Amino acid sequence: MPTTVIDPRPLSLERSMKLWYRGLYHKKSYKNITRYVPSRVQTEHPCLPYHVRAFFLPEFWENKTETVFQDNLHRAEQTIWTKQGLQDASIVTHEIVYPDKDVKVKEGIETSSSTARAATPTTAPTTAPTKKQKTAPTTTTIIEQQFETKNENGINESTLVVPDTTVRQHLQAMELVSKSCLVLGMHPDQAACPIVEYAIKYHKSFAVVPCCVYSNEIKRKLKNGQWVKSYDDLCTYLKELSPDIESCIVPYLEGKNQCIYRILENTEDE
């Protein structure tokens, strides 16, 4: 199914493509890697998602000008992902978390026109560890070790070329969004409410699993007048946006697992 990802963070598909060629879907732990299909061959190619590196806010879908769209893209490029959510790269001084890599860096940030990069430390730690400790291999380590060799069908995964699917033109982005029949958000942070609002306004089916509330940044009130401060408040607020919105618990999902959704039986784009 054709898919478009709207996310202000960089989208890295290299690891996903390697998993796809190996017939892997999800790794629960380094001891249990679930295979769901046989390995692919070199002539097979996955259907990669388009990526619009932008903030999914009303200004994204309501504006009609290329200028506003390009401003959104530029703002996204100057943003990095941290434990406190999306932050302006020029003012961040706390820990950075890269979503597509298992890397965490504190302070010392260098910025470029496209992405923020962590500066390499120039001095060694002042305190050496008193005892060398053994650490269990992480899931990422195990997966990447597998990628150092060819898969069982002889595909050299180290030479895989991931095409650039980034959308940088306003008209193309709006066409992709308008033709969508389903809007999904998995722990989308500040975009949780805009996803539901967009789906309601344009009569789309949707499913969103909200996570952080951002009560200090985004002020919302429930129908009873109470401010949205907790996760349960946020889920209630989203369900109150339309009478046909339902909710369920997603099993086996780590972290916040309440799904807010609406399924429309007949939509124009189906």
pTM of the full predicted structure? 0.70
138 lies in some domain? no
Report yes or no on 148 lying in a domain.
Answer: no
- Dihedral of CA 230/234/235/239: which sign? positive
For the chain, how many structural domains are there in total?
Answer: 2
Is 206 in a helix, a strand, or coil?
Answer: strand
Residue 19 shares a structural domain with residue 115: yes
The residue segments making up the domain with residue 101 are 4-122
Low-confidence spans in the chain with pLDDT less than 70: 25-39, 42, 83-87, 89-158, 266-270
The residues, any chain, with a CB within 8 Å of residue 130's CB and separated by 6 or more, are none
Domain boundary among 56, 91, 122: 122
Domain boundary among 122, 140, 168: 122
For position 54, what pLDDT does the model report? 94
Q: Is residue 105 part of a domain?
A: yes
130 is a domain residue: no
**Predicted local confidence at residue 123, as pLDDT:** 36
Whether residue 210 is found in the same domain as residue 103: no
- Backbone torsions φ then ψ of 82, nearest 5 degrees: -130, 175
How confident is the model over 88-106, as pLDDT tens digits?
766 655 554 444 444 343 3
pLDDT at 64: 77
| Same domain for 12 and 117 | yes
Residue 56 lies in a domain: yes
Structural tokens at position 206: 């949707």
The number of beta carbons lying within 10 Å of the beta carbon of residue 53 is 22
Three-state SS sequence of 21-42: HCCEEEEEECCEEEECCCCCCC
**Is residue 146 assigned to a domain?**
no
